Amino acid sequence: AQKITQTQPGMFVQEKEAVTLDCTYDTSDPSYGLFWYKQPSSGEMIFLIYQGSYDQQNATEGRYSLNFQKARKSANLVISASQLGDSAMYFCAMREGRQGGSEKLVFGKGMKLTVNP
């Protein structure tokens, strides 16, 4: 079963507007972490923001914030004041907290954000 779902294959937003990128996840582990990465056309994978399952507050990092709704199993990324340089693929990923086991990331299929001038 797919653990991370990103249903929006692509989105367009005007420069300086805010945009929300959707991510839902599925896990039975009470301890997990959710990540968002940005992948520009150059290919590198850039860490944006992290949310732990036990975190009481939604994570924020500059223009990025994570709208974490645990009961709905969603972890949407909000980018405020979009910039042209935000045009990229965005991946949501989850790490399950298995004791003594792997900390590997499981990624969603990604979504392509295009910021228009």
Enumerate binding residues for another protein (CB under 8 A).
31, 33, 35, 37, 43-47, 50, 52, 91, 95, 97, 101-110
* Closest approach of another protein to the CB of residue 60, in Å: 15
d(CA 23, CA 77): 8
Q: Is the dihedral of CA 71, 75, 76, 78 positive or negative?
A: positive
Q: Which is nearer to another protein, 11 or 52 (CB)?
A: 52
d(CA 107, CA 19): 21
* Closest approach of another protein to the CB of residue 31, in Å: 6
Q: Which is nearer to another protein, 25 or 91 (CB)?
A: 91
* Closest approach of another protein to the CB of residue 106, in Å: 7
Q: Which is nearer to another protein, 39 or 67 (CB)?
A: 39
**Beta strands at 10-14 and 111-116: parallel, antiparallel or unpaired:** parallel
Residue 13 bridge partners (DSSP) = 115
